[in-house]
């Protein structure tokens, strides 16, 4: 797996949040469950970052992220939405794919490198299409890990 951040299979799932707040709540809950983090700390960190400006990346993807205490390295989670949610993205499109990233407070450049790797993934036309068409979480996880491993090599 990519050395920049960790993505575990159980951190990739399909959900039906009603709005942006519910997306962040469900994302925080999954981060807490999978990576043994404090859900309220995760949610607060993502909400604080979101208050600075939308993490709606565009192309129907959001990249919520935060730096929090208690992590040894960056970790990711991916939520594929059954119905698009308004995320106030710059292109105005609602999101149907959410890729969350949490990094240690002192991660500095590592956090930026991880965000850059994720943004490259969603900017790649073939990868973006494949992610959108992935039929289940297992397919999406395999697709992401293969792409990230290839980029790391």
Question: Is 153 a member of any domain?
Answer: no
116 within a domain of the structure (yes/no): yes
pLDDT band at residue 148, thresholds of 50, 70 and 90?
Answer: confident
State the average pLDDT for the chain: 93
Q: What CATH number did the domain enclosing 31 receive?
A: 3.40.930.10
User: What DSSP element (H or E) covers 56?
Assistant: strand 56-58
Q: How many domains does the chain have?
A: 1
- Is it the case that residue 11 has pLDDT exceeding 90? yes
Query: Span 11-38, mean pLDDT?
Result: 97
Could you give the 3-state DSSP secondary structure of residue 97?
strand
**Which SS3 state, helix, strand or coil, does residue 54 take?**
coil
Q: Is the pLDDT of residue 147 over 90?
A: no
Burial class from Cβ neighbours inside 10 Å (0-12, 13-18, 19+) for residue 137 reads middle
Active site residue 128: no
Q: Supply the range of the domain harboring residue 30.
A: 6-148
Residue 27's pLDDT is 98
Tell me which residue of 99, 110, 98 sits closest to 71, measured CA to CA: 110
Tens of pLDDT along 46-85? 999 999 999 999 999 999 999 999 899 999 999 999 999 9
For the segment 112-138, what is each residue's pLDDT rounded down to a tens digit? Answer: 999 999 999 999 999 999 999 998 999
In-domain check, residue 101: yes
Nearest residue to 53 (alpha-carbon basis) of 15, 20, 97: 20
Q: What is the mean pLDDT of residues 85-93?
A: 94
Question: Parallel, antiparallel, or unpaired for β 95-104 and 75-85?
Answer: antiparallel
């Amino acid at each position: 797996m990519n050395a920049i951040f960790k993505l575990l299979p159980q951190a990739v799932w399909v959900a039906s949040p009603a709005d942006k707040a519910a997306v962040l709540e469900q994302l925080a809950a999954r981060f807490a469950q999978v990576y043994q983090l404090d859900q309220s700390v995760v949610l607060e960190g993502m909400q604080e970052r979101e208050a600075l400006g939308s993490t709606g990346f565009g192309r129907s993807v959001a990249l919520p992220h935060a730096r929090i205490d208690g992590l040894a390295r960056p970790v990711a989670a991916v939520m594929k939405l059954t119905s698009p949610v308004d995320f106030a993205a710059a292109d105005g499109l609602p999101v149907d794919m959410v890729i969350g990233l949490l990094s240690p407070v002192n991660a500095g450049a590592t956090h930026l490198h991880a965000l850059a790797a994720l943004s490259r993934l969603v900017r790649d036309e073939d990868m973006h299409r494949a992610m959108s068409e992935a039929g289940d979480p297992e397919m999406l996880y395999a697709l992401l890990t293969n792409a990230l491993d290839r980029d790391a090599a």
